[in-house]
Amino acid sequence: MDIEIKRMSSTAIEMLDQLSIVCKRFGVDYYAASQNQRDLLDSIALHEYQLKKLMSRG
């Protein structure tokens, strides 16, 4: 059995960081959340990530 380990992209790391910030803000444990809650958290994190990227471009 071969195991392949890949380094996460900087974009993926930034998205996970944003998701962590959103979870902390709302006091939600992502892994204990329902699927609906996870979907909402993912959407909020993605939206905020995209806003940050746009703001940084000017």
Instruction: List pLDDT tens digits, range 4-36.
Output: 888 999 999 999 999 999 999 999 999 999 999
Q: What's the pTM?
A: 0.83
Rounded to 5 degrees, φ, ψ at 29 are -85, 110
- Asked if 53 contacts 19 with a C-beta cutoff of 8 angstroms, the reply is no
SS3 of residue 1 by DSSP:
coil
* Residue 58 pLDDT greater than 80, yes or no: no
Structure tokens that stand for 6 in this block? 């890949």
Amino acid 43: pLDDT: 97
What would the mean pLDDT of 31-48 be, rounded to a whole number?
97
Q: Pick from 52, 55, 57, 58: which is nearest to 15 by CA? A: 52
* Residue 1 pLDDT greater than 90, yes or no: no
- Asked if 30 contacts 19 with a C-beta cutoff of 8 angstroms, the reply is yes
Degrees (nearest 5) of the Cα angle 31, 12, 28? 25
Domain residue spans in the chain? Answer: 10-57
